[in-house]
Chains A and B, each alone.
Chain A
C-alpha cells in the first residue's frame, strides 16, 4: 500500500515538473524580440515612456492571466508642448498683471485669495492634462490590440480586437513636426465589431507596424501549430 502511495506521489511530482517546464517553455516562447529578432528582448523600466517595448510592469483591466503585454504606446511627448506652454503662460500671468493694474480695485485680502485660486486652477490644469496623456494608451499584447481613451473626467472608452482579426495596418505620416520627431497616426482595420482602431500620434510608427506584422505572423504560426489559447 505505502509503495503505491509513494509511486503515485512521484508521478504527480513528475506531472507538476513537466507542467512547470511546459509553462516555462511557453512563457519563454512568448518573450520574442519582435524588433531585432533576438530571443530575449530588453525590458523597458520607464513608466512614463511613450514607446514602452516589453514594459517591466504592465497590467490592465480584463487582462487574461496568460496574456503578455508587448508594447504600450502613448502620444509622442512633443504633443504635450502645447499645454506645457499654456501652463507656463498661466503661471506667469499674475506677474505680468502688475504692469496692468486690473486687480487694484480689489481689497488686498481678495487679491491674495484670487492669486491663490489662480495657482490652484493652474495646478488642476497641469494635472488633468498630464493624466490624460498618461492614461490614454494603446496596448499591444500577444493576443490583442487595445485602445484606451479617457474622453472626459469620468468617461472611459476601451476598444480591443484580436490580433488575428487585423486586416490592414496604415501608417499616416505627414507634417513637419511629425517628420522631425518621427511620430504619426496608425489606422488598424479589423474584422471585429469595431472596424477601425486608431493609434493617435504614436512614436516610431514603423517599428509599431513591424511589431504588428510580426505578431500576426506569430498568431498564424500558432494556429498552424495548434497552439491557439
Chain B
C-alpha cells in the first residue's frame, strides 16, 4: 500500500517537473524573441554569436525536457 502511495507521489512530482520544464521552454522562446528585438535595435558585430547562444539554449531546454520524459 505504502509502495503504491510512494509511486503515485513520485508520479505527481514527475509531472510537476515536466510542467516546469515546459514553462522553461516558453522562457527559452521568449529569450530568442528578446535577442531578435535587441539585435534589431543595435548592431555592433557580436549579434551572430549571441543569436547562436540563444538557439543553443533553446535546444538544451528541449533536450532536458526530453531527458526528463525518458528518465523519470
Interface residues, chain A, with chain B CB atoms under 8 Å away: 47-48, 52, 55-61, 72, 107, 109-110, 112-113, 116-117, 120, 123-124, 127-128, 131, 134-135, 137, 139, 148, 150, 153-154, 156, 158
Chain A residue numbers with a CB within 8 Å of B35 are 131
Contact yes or no, A55 B67, CB < 8 A: no
Residue ID in chain B nearest A150 by CB atoms: B38
CB-CB contacts of B21-64 with A at 8 A, as 1s and 0s? Answer: 10010011011011101101111111000100110010011001
How far apart are the CA atoms of A79 and B20 in the complex, in Å? 32
- What would be 8 A-B contacts, judged by CB atoms less than 8 Å apart? A47-B45, A60-B43, A72-B44, A113-B64, A135-B42, A139-B42, A148-B42, A156-B41
Say yes or no: is B19 at the interface (Cβ < 8 Å to chain A): no
A residues near B72, Cβ cutoff 8 Å: 109-110, 113
Q: Are A153 and B30 in contact, with the CB atoms below 8 A? A: yes
Tell me the bound Cα distance from A59 to B39 in angstroms.
10
For the complex of A and B, the 8 pairs showing the least CB-CB separation, nearest first, are A47-B45, A47-B46, A59-B43, A135-B38, A57-B45, A47-B44, A109-B71, A61-B41
Partner of B41, one of A56, A58, A135: A135
Docked-complex contact B64 and A57, CB < 8 angstroms:
no
Write out the residue numbers on chain B whose beta carbons fall within 8 Å of the beta carbon of A137.
Answer: 42
- Docked Cα-Cα span, A57 to B67, in Å, equals 41
Known: A113-B17, A113-B72, A131-B35. Contact between A123 and B43, CB under 8 A? Answer: no
Q: Tell me how far the C-beta of B58 lies from the nearest C-beta in chain A, rounded to whole angstroms.
A: 11
Find A116's partner among B10, B30, B34, B67 (CB 8 Å cutoff): B67
Contact residues in A for B31 (Cβ distance below 8 Å): 124, 127-128, 153
Known: A47-B45, A57-B45, A158-B41. A110 touches B21 (CB 8 A): no
Are the C-beta atoms of A116 and B44 separated by less than 8 Å? no
Residue in contact with B37 in the complex, picked from A60, A123, A154, CB distance below 8 Å: A154
Considering the chains assembled together, what is the distance between the CA atoms of A219 and B33 in angstroms?
A: 38
Q: How far is the CB of B61 from chain A (nearest CB, A)?
A: 7
A209 to B68, CA, bound (A): 54
Q: When the two chains form their complex, are residues A116 and B50 in contact, meaning their CB atoms are under 8 A apart?
A: no
Task: Give complex CA distance A116, B60 in Å.
Answer: 10
Q: Which residues of B have CB within 8 Å of A117?
A: 17, 20-21, 24, 64
A177 to chain B, nearest CB (A): 26
Establish whether residues A120 and B64, one from each chain, have CB atoms under 8 Å apart when the complex forms: yes
